[in-house]
Amino acid sequence: MMAGRGRLLPCVCLGLLGVLCWVWVSFASFPDDQLPLEALDAVDRGAFKPQSALSEMEFSSISSYSGPGNNDRRSNKELPILLWWSGNLFPHFPGDTERIDCATASCLVTSNRKVQLYKRTASIIFYGTDFRAYEAPLPRLHHQTWALFHEESPMNNYLLSHGPGIRLFNYTATFRRESDYPLTLQWLPTLDYLLKPVAVSLEEKNRLRREGLAPVLYMQSHCDVPSDRDRYVKELMKYIEVDSYGKCLNNKPIPEQLEDTATATGEESKFMDFVARYKFHLALENGLCPDYMTEKLWRPLHQGCVPVYRGSSVVADWMPNNHSVIIINSFPSPKALADFLKRLDENDDEYAKYLAFKDPKHITNSRLLKALETREWGVNDMSKPNYLNGFECYVCDQENARLAAERAHRKAPKKSQPPQPKMANNSHMGCPLPSPGYGDVQDLPADDGWLQIWPQDYWQSLDQAEGLESLIRHNESDPSLLWKHIQNIAVSRARGKH
Ligand SMILES: *[C@@H]1O[C@H](CO)[C@@H](O)[C@H](O)[C@H]1NC(C)=O
Ligand SMILES: *[C@@H]1O[C@H](CO)[C@@H](O)[C@H](O)[C@H]1NC(C)=O
Ligand SMILES: *[C@@H]1O[C@H](CO)[C@@H](O)[C@H](O)[C@H]1NC(C)=O
Ligand SMILES: *[C@@H]1O[C@H](CO)[C@@H](O)[C@H](O)[C@H]1NC(C)=O
């Protein structure tokens, strides 16, 4: 009944009793412990759309399930709202709105952008790859937090790697261990995945070597990437035999039966059998960043091949032990690496040491074991939430705690402190300026393809981060003014004022 009133009254009121009616409806729709009393600001205008974006969900019955520790008895229309700005990632279906009952409290989550300016909309969740400064939800409302989900490559959005970009977000779920909801081991499903017996015995690998199989595999189809890996591999190929099947540096035709799967990251069994025959897999990530590790690293470990890795500078922190991966950057040159690989190729005992971790007692990295044991999300594991649902619950619990602290502070300002502001910083992403895969940037010709793309992309992303920060500081509502703000920043910098 309350509900019907909340929906119909705005239409009746509009234009008639104006502000008086508006204030009353505000209180009718939002119990006052939910709301600061300054109900007349522009924010509320969003709540007076004739048809609530959430109407169906608002009035449906309360779901009976609650997470352990969740005694939240509020009806749907009293809950804080979390808006997924990247609707295609909204982890619920069917419909665009859902009640979630998290560890300590509940929220409504929606992908319906109509709620952007609602007072009840406590947080907006973004997907890093899709986040564009010129499409950001503006004006940025003071009471709303921003949450960033970004598990993909740093190359997908360098805006997030700059201080002014990442600081726009209050909560993060990224591949970095320092983020609020770390996804560092997202590509490692379980410990058993690592422990699986080697797919092809060393004896068999040696036999294949005698038949002419190269010691090293490279298989990559995305060539123009910020890590500039081909430049390194090309140099390495001068000193050791590498079979390269993908589009990049291709020197071998892909067997017909594999053609469909060669570019897939999937674990298709024919593909798996094919690559498992190689002693070494070149595993170079497309973008370099601390803690950014993908299946390129974990798959060879799973299969019992030795990864020759470049990617996260701190990869050793997560390896099963200190002798399971060959780290490219610890060699002074591609030739030195090639010589090392050739020696291992000829020395079975030394090669086998890299696979000692297949015996659980040689998995000695307690950081790895603990992280696998304590993470609350699962990979292809129905008994655990996936990390999208996990992160939205993290944000929901944080926001409910913040709102409760704000209410307590309003009621008893002397007794209860207001909640501390919280925002991300460079340790939550902070990937470095791309550098050439081999050699010095000074030595690259001006028309080098990599040089023309990636360093520029990185610095232009900084411009966009600063432009968006400026839009927000000026309380702009139109994100397409971004370019004007970037220009103004450039001009004031030129005048020595920035
Ligand atoms: C910010 O902009 C909104 C809408 O454009 C306006 O209603 C509001 O008063 C502004 N807030 C401040 C603090 O300037
Ligand atoms: C690797 O670990 C072993 C056994 O824990 C230890 O004896 C050895 O010193 C370590 N080596 C390096 C390079 O850290
Ligand atoms: C969220 O981050 C913004 C921008 O960095 C900051 O101004 C705001 O105070 C933060 N909000 C909270 C609730 O911490
Ligand atoms: C950056 O964030 C991390 C993790 O959230 C925090 O521990 C650290 O103190 C922050 N650093 C700075 C300089 O604020």
Answer whether residue 168 is part of any domain: yes
Residue where a domain stops, chosen among 346, 372, 398: 372
Ligand 2 in contact with 364 (CB < 6 A)? yes
Instruction: State the pLDDT at residue 267.
Output: 65
Tokens describing residue 148: 């960033």
226-247 confidence digits (pLDDT tens):
999 999 999 999 999 999 999 9
d(CA 470, CA 51): 33
3-state secondary structure of 13: helix
CATH number, position 306: 3.40.50.11660
Indicate if 397 and 339 belong to the same structural domain: no
- Report which secondary-structure segment, H or E, holds 327: strand 326-327
Confidence band, pLDDT 50/70/90 cuts, at residue 21? very low
306-339 confidence digits (pLDDT tens):
999 999 999 999 999 999 999 999 999 999 999 9
The yes-or-no verdict on residue 450 having pLDDT over 50 is yes
Indicate if 235 and 292 belong to the same structural domain: yes
3-state secondary structure of 369: helix
**For ligand 2, what atom is nearest to the CA of residue 323?**
1
- Contact (Cβ atoms closer than 8 angstroms) between residue 214 and residue 245: no
Indicate if 222 and 317 belong to the same structural domain: yes
3-state secondary structure of 125: strand
Answer whether residue 9 is part of any domain: no
User: How far is C-alpha 465 from the geometric centre of its chain's CA atoms?
Assistant: 18
Indicate if 197 and 178 belong to the same structural domain: no
- Contact (Cβ atoms closer than 8 angstroms) between residue 431 and residue 177: no
pTM of the model: 0.86
Higher pLDDT, 31 or 165: 165
Ligand 4, atom 1: nearest CA belongs to which residue?
A: 425
The yes-or-no verdict on residue 296 having pLDDT over 60 is yes
Cα atoms in the 13 Å half-sphere on the side-chain side of 109: 30
Ligand 1 in contact with 475 (CB < 6 A)? yes
> Quick one: which of 77, 41, 104 has its CA closest to 399?
104
Report the separation in Å between the CA atom of 145 and the middle of ligand 3, taken as the mean of its atom positions: 6
Confidence band, pLDDT 50/70/90 cuts, at residue 437? very high
Answer whether residue 62 is part of any domain: yes
Indicate if 98 and 134 belong to the same structural domain: yes
3-state secondary structure of 462: helix
Strand 171-174 relative to strand 145-150, pairing: parallel
Ligand 1, atom 13: nearest CA belongs to which residue?
A: 475
3-state secondary structure of 198: coil
Residue ranges making up the domain that contains 300: 191-372
Answer whether residue 402 is part of any domain: yes
The yes-or-no verdict on residue 361 having pLDDT over 90 is yes
- Report which secondary-structure segment, H or E, holds 269: helix 269-275
Average pLDDT, the chain: 87
Domain count across the chain: 2
Residue where a domain stops, chosen among 322, 350, 372: 372
Answer whether residue 277 is part of any domain: yes
Instruction: State the pLDDT at residue 26.
Output: 31
Total residue length of the chain: 498
Ligand 3 in contact with 145 (CB < 6 A)? yes
Answer whether residue 478 is part of any domain: yes
Report the separation in Å between the CA atom of 443 and the middle of ligand 3, taken as the mean of its atom positions: 43
Indicate if 221 and 343 belong to the same structural domain: yes
Indicate if 298 and 314 belong to the same structural domain: yes
- Helices of type H across 70-160: none
Residue where a domain stops, chosen among 372, 398, 425: 372
107-131 confidence digits (pLDDT tens):
999 999 999 999 999 999 999 999 9
Indicate if 201 and 317 belong to the same structural domain: yes
Answer whether residue 60 is part of any domain: yes
Indicate if 204 and 327 belong to the same structural domain: yes
Q: What is the DSSP string of 378-419?
A: -SS-TTS--HHHHHHHHHHHHHHHHHHHHHHHHH-TTTSPPP
The CA angle 325-338-438, to the nearest 5 degrees, is 90
Indicate if 366 and 402 belong to the same structural domain: no
Answer whether residue 34 is part of any domain: no
The CA angle 370-372-373, to the nearest 5 degrees, is 65
Indicate if 50 and 125 belong to the same structural domain: yes
